[in-house]
Structure 1
């Protein structure tokens, strides 16, 4: 095993290592032995990380015996963030095989690690896993951690955005032909800007591209997660406190590139007091391009087109056109829908498929277990919209086994007498927006 080293350079004896291994083996997901906590202070972080990584590797090489999952827990207890990312990568594979218990134990390991990096990995698993039981368990972890901080899951996610190494000059790549600054295109893919401002798709030939390659991979995973999350925030009219917005969106080295492509509404209590965009330097500007200072007591929302002040939607669209800003999802040009008799008629009898139905989960839908599995969406106040399709599918079905579906009916359950016509305008509009996606001829 790699040696455990003290800050002064001393190495652990064989007896001390054996003692630590015994104490690690006695830990479980609910209780950590005090000697393990003490080891964090006694041995350097670098040596602990190497030690934990070696222990995990030996466990994997031995076939991951269930009696020794403590070797994986050791990564969370005395390892580092790189180890947490390795655990998450293994968990993705285990969740889809015959190792669901091992995959869920990996979630405990990430929770034990508890750093922002580990919780980001946990959040990614909760958002993106294709396996319902594993995904639900990951969400439970995130909800429990958020609850401890008095936050919702989305509010916790606001605080868990990776910086992607872009701070402290990390956005500059030196080459033999000068420095290139990393910027992001409308799809939030990293591109490069030279000293003259010209944008390049890649570094000059002969340059070391390892950093750029790694960043592209990280940005792709992060962008897909946060674009979907912010689109949900717009559709649910979620409020973000001013301090969090300025720190984790406008001023964040990565999220600012997403924030700059959206229009934000400023709220004082329940009153919309203005609309702003995030400029390239992270400051705020109004419709006339005048600087805006955000009051500390304010909140911001990603404005849904139904909520723009009269006459401003088109003007903001022209501002974005002038700056050549493309949005990560439809906001300024998003279709809006209002309640009317027979609103569901255009969708009844339309054909769709299991993959498209499952794709609604991106927009807040979930599977509803009845005689057959259907899709349902929470509407607030305990009410749910349940979309009935024929013939439905079984919980064990996959993309390959689920039959084609026909849209039949949209009902509201647990509404306490509330009808679709009573829904808030944005909630109803987004419900119809989802149905249009579901039955679009362009749907995959």
Structure 2
């Protein structure tokens, strides 16, 4: 298939063929999963084994991606020419879409870019192949990948609701600190609805947008970063990379004291328009920041409709971001008992470093609200690098030093609770 050709229809028998294929590969794949469990990749190995057992049942994308990588690796004893490699990729991609939908297929493809299988090495004591999750290759590597080509082509003809669900799932994936590497891969994979693969790839220019740029804009929303309107136009809208991101977000205008006075988006022609489509021209000294859902109040639902109507995908969860509030009892206290004795995944603990948290052996800490510090006490505590830790830690206590949780503004409180809920999920 060339990029200009329409994709072949999804094969309705793909799952039956895939199940038969995986039964034949099970004996070769299982030793690698056992070795992965021994090396600290138990959750990934379990997800892969669940998918291997029943690819038609509910699954997680990373498990399906690991099985794809393992199946491809263990099939290399039989040389795959271009046609057979394409058929191999289509069998998985078609089954993923049939059984789990476009969003699952896209997420599994992104995960596949970060999964590697290395050969066994008896001289170094490794008797089986090794499953690894590593930083993926540059986004351009997806151009010639058969799996990515198939999924990208099918996404280009996906129904609008399926495409929007895919955008939301991939945005959440790239916004999660442990999978922040996914951002450039997401940009390289997603086509615009109704256009060819070649056109979509050229239009996205993934090299102009980096994960760090996306992370900085999300941090600006969370931490309340503001720009004067003239500075915002120069540094954000006119920037070759940030300008693309700016058009995928809703922005808010603020008074010096923090009161929200309006909201707008940046159109493709650079014009600023409000939720009704009316053009805005804020004066140069107006303060502008990335709008948080709590800033938008009754306009939130209307903005969601506008972005859906224009098929605008967001670089991180904004309009459909979950929001949280303290209970009255929590607002009057400096403790959050809702998190006491809950389990926290170690990989998510280390991922909090990208959210401004500091990690000590038994305590996580972060400055919030300018004057306060929140601490999370861990049990049994961390001893060394990520690879040497237990899979989970118990949260012994969450405490705010310097005041009660009610002193935090609603956005700061919501984002704190959101991060803690994700940590303890």
Pairing 1:437–2:422 present: yes
Select 1:307's aligned residue among 270, 295, 306.
295
Residue aligned with 1:386, SS: strand
Contact 1:237/1:301, CA 8 A, preserved across alignment: yes
Contact 1:250/1:283, CA 8 A, preserved across alignment: no
Contact 1:352/1:406, CA 8 A, preserved across alignment: yes
Residue aligned with 2:386, SS: coil
1:123-202 pair list within 5 angstroms:
189=187, 199-202=195-198
Select 1:286's aligned residue among 269, 274, 279.
274
Deviation string for 1:241-298 (max 9, x for gaps)?
A: 2122112222222212111111111124334322100101122111111111121111
RMSD: 3.0
**What residue is the counterpart of 1:398 in the other structure?**
385
Select 2:409's aligned residue among 407, 416, 424.
424
**What residue is the counterpart of 1:359 in the other structure?**
351
Residue aligned with 2:269, SS: coil
Deviation string for 1:142-166 (max 9, x for gaps)?
A: xxxxxxxxxxxxxxxxxxxxxxxxx
Select 1:275's aligned residue among 263, 269, 273.
263
User: Given the superposition, is the C-alpha separation of residues 203 and 381 from structure 1 closer, same or farther in structure 2, using an over 3 Å criterion?
Assistant: closer
- Cα deviation for residue 390 of structure 1 reads 0.5
Runs (5+) with no aligned partner, structure 2? 1-166, 172-182
Contact 2:221/2:290, CA 8 A, preserved across alignment: yes
**What residue is the counterpart of 1:296 in the other structure?**
284
Structure 2 Cα separation of the partners of residues 191 and 292 of structure 1: 34
- Cα deviation for residue 423 of structure 1 reads 1.4
Residue aligned with 1:356, SS: helix
Structure 2 Cα separation of the partners of residues 273 and 411 of structure 1: 33
User: Given the superposition, is the C-alpha separation of residues 191 and 251 from structure 1 closer, same or farther in structure 2, using an over 3 Å criterion?
Assistant: farther
User: Given the superposition, is the C-alpha separation of residues 285 and 190 from structure 1 closer, same or farther in structure 2, using an over 3 Å criterion?
Assistant: farther
Residue aligned with 1:400, SS: helix
Normalising by the residue count of structure 1, what TM-score does the alignment of the two structures yield?
Answer: 0.48
1:254-269 pair list within 5 angstroms:
254-269=241-256
Residue aligned with 2:388, SS: coil
Residue aligned with 2:289, SS: strand
User: Given the superposition, is the C-alpha separation of residues 241 and 357 from structure 1 closer, same or farther in structure 2, using an over 3 Å criterion?
Assistant: same
Select 1:248's aligned residue among 235, 245, 255.
235
- Cα deviation for residue 190 of structure 1 reads 5.2
Following TM superposition, where does structure 1 have runs of at least 4 consecutive aligned residues deviating by more than 6 angstroms?
A: 191-194
1:332-347 pair list within 5 angstroms:
332-340=319-327, 341=329, 344-347=336-339
Structure 2 Cα separation of the partners of residues 272 and 401 of structure 1: 46
Residue aligned with 1:360, SS: helix
User: Given the superposition, is the C-alpha separation of residues 247 and 401 from structure 1 closer, same or farther in structure 2, using an over 3 Å criterion?
Assistant: same
Residue aligned with 1:437, SS: helix
Residue aligned with 1:388, SS: strand
- Cα deviation for residue 350 of structure 1 reads 1.9
**What residue is the counterpart of 1:409 in the other structure?**
397
Structure 1 Cα separation of the partners of residues 313 and 234 of structure 2: 23
Residue aligned with 1:296, SS: coil
| More helix as a share of residues | 2
1:90-109 pair list within 5 angstroms:
none
Structure 1 Cα separation of the partners of residues 188 and 230 of structure 2: 27
Structure 2 Cα separation of the partners of residues 400 and 285 of structure 1: 48
Structure 1 Cα separation of the partners of residues 265 and 323 of structure 2: 22
Residue aligned with 2:419, SS: helix
Normalising by the residue count of structure 2, what TM-score does the alignment of the two structures yield?
Answer: 0.50
Contact 2:222/2:292, CA 8 A, preserved across alignment: yes
Deviates more, 1:185-194 or 1:335-344: 185-194
Contact 1:191/1:202, CA 8 A, preserved across alignment: no
User: Given the superposition, is the C-alpha separation of residues 191 and 393 from structure 1 closer, same or farther in structure 2, using an over 3 Å criterion?
Assistant: closer
Structure 2 Cα separation of the partners of residues 402 and 190 of structure 1: 34
Structure 2 Cα separation of the partners of residues 426 and 192 of structure 1: 30
- Cα deviation for residue 406 of structure 1 reads 0.9
**What residue is the counterpart of 1:231 in the other structure?**
218
